[in-house]
Amino acid sequence: MNIRGDSPTHAARKSDTPADDKQCTSQGDTGMNRPPITPKRLMIAIAILLLISSQLPTRAATALSYVPRSFVSLISKPAAMLHRMSTTLRPSRAQPLDFTGDLAQQLAQARVYIDNLEQEVIELRSVSESLAQIDALLDLGGIRLVGANVLGFNGDLENPIITIGVGSNAKLREGLAVVWGAGLVGKVVSTSANTADVQLITAAGTQLQVRITKPSTTGAAAPLPAFIQVASDGRSFFTEEFSVNDPVQVGDLVHLADDSWQFRSRGFIVGIVAEVGDSDRPLLNSRIVIRPAQPLPSLTRVAVLVPVD
């Protein structure tokens, strides 16, 4: 019995309402959980956009397409920067590092440096030998060395004269020997108060008594006396007193041993044997050519052997 008086139809509708409400609620929840943009919807939107732009005028279509092109350009710039940074920090596998060129260049520079060092060692040995020769061969007791700058050269090979910047005020006088290191340069021929003229040993007609010795690095040997004279070139000396069997070799030292020179100048080096060849004279087989260690007219500084009063 229906106490409330509801009709059967109304009751059936009322009983069906909760189920319908649940179904509607379930469908509403499902629609709310779906993402607003899906790949399908995006493709549909792009197709619609393309369709619309195809119907628009050219200017409008260009302006419409500028937005995505600007977005792509904005993204590509930092991407390019990141790519350059990555290639800078790590080498490309297609181009492996090659150190061959750098190593070859460093090796070449090292060889040049070593060659320069070897040349300096040779020069230092030469200086050391000169000092040893001065110490061993010369007795400079009672002599003071007066240094002087070379002021000029007269340019005459037959009578070569250099002018030096010291004179009689420094106790210079005619006949005093002038040297350069261990080498003999010439002899004072005239003086003034502050200058002096020095005739070089290569003046025409110069003849000297000498003795020839081996360099100190090759060991001691008996000196060979000789008589030398200036050659026609005005730059060297020669002698033809030795035969092929005499032990005279290129590089031997030629020392002054002439009594006509200042006593303390004996032992200084006149020159070095530069050539040993055949002689034009009969019965003598060798022509020995001696040259000063340095061209004498090119000297810039010398020293005078001045006796101590």
Q: Do residue 114 and residue 262 come from a single domain?
A: no
Would you say residue 31 lies in a domain? no
Would you say residue 196 lies in a domain? yes
According to the model, what pLDDT value does residue 308 have?
A: 85
Answer yes or no: pTM beyond 0.75.
no
Q: Do residue 106 and residue 245 come from a single domain?
A: no
Count of residues in the chain:
309
CA dist list (Å): 265 to 30, 183, 213, 229, 292:
124, 10, 17, 18, 16
Q: Do residue 215 and residue 238 come from a single domain?
A: yes
Q: How many CA atoms lie within 13 A of 16 on its CB side?
A: 6
Would you say residue 94 lies in a domain? no
Q: Is 292 left (phi over 0), alpha (psi -120 to 50) or beta?
A: beta
According to the model, what pLDDT value does residue 40 have?
A: 72
DSSP character for 293?
Answer: S
The contacts found for 126-130 with CB under 8 angstroms, 24 or more apart, are 129/215, 129/216, 129/217, 130/181, 130/182
According to the model, what pLDDT value does residue 18 have?
A: 46
The tens place of each residue's pLDDT in the chain, 309 residues long, gives 444 444 444 444 444 444 444 444 444 444 455 566 676 776 777 677 666 666 666 666 565 555 555 544 554 555 566 556 555 545 555 555 555 567 778 788 888 888 888 888 877 776 566 555 555 555 566 888 899 999 999 999 899 999 999 999 999 999 999 999 889 999 999 999 999 999 999 999 999 999 998 886 555 567 889 999 999 999 999 998 888 788 888 999 999 999 899 878 888 999 999 998 876 665 666 889 999 988 999 999 999 999 987
According to the model, what pLDDT value does residue 187 have?
A: 96
Q: Do residue 281 and residue 150 come from a single domain?
A: yes
Q: Do residue 116 and residue 214 come from a single domain?
A: no
Q: Which residue has the tokens 């060889």?
A: 111
According to the model, what pLDDT value does residue 217 have?
A: 52
DSSP character for 139?
Answer: -
Would you say residue 87 lies in a domain? no
Q: How many CA atoms lie within 13 A of 36 on its CB side?
A: 0
Under DSSP, is residue 212 helix (H, G, I), strand (E, B) or coil? strand
Q: Do residue 211 and residue 286 come from a single domain?
A: yes
Rg (CA), the chain: 54
Q: Do residue 276 and residue 178 come from a single domain?
A: yes
If one counts the domains in the chain, the total is: 3
Structural domain containing residue 218: 138-307
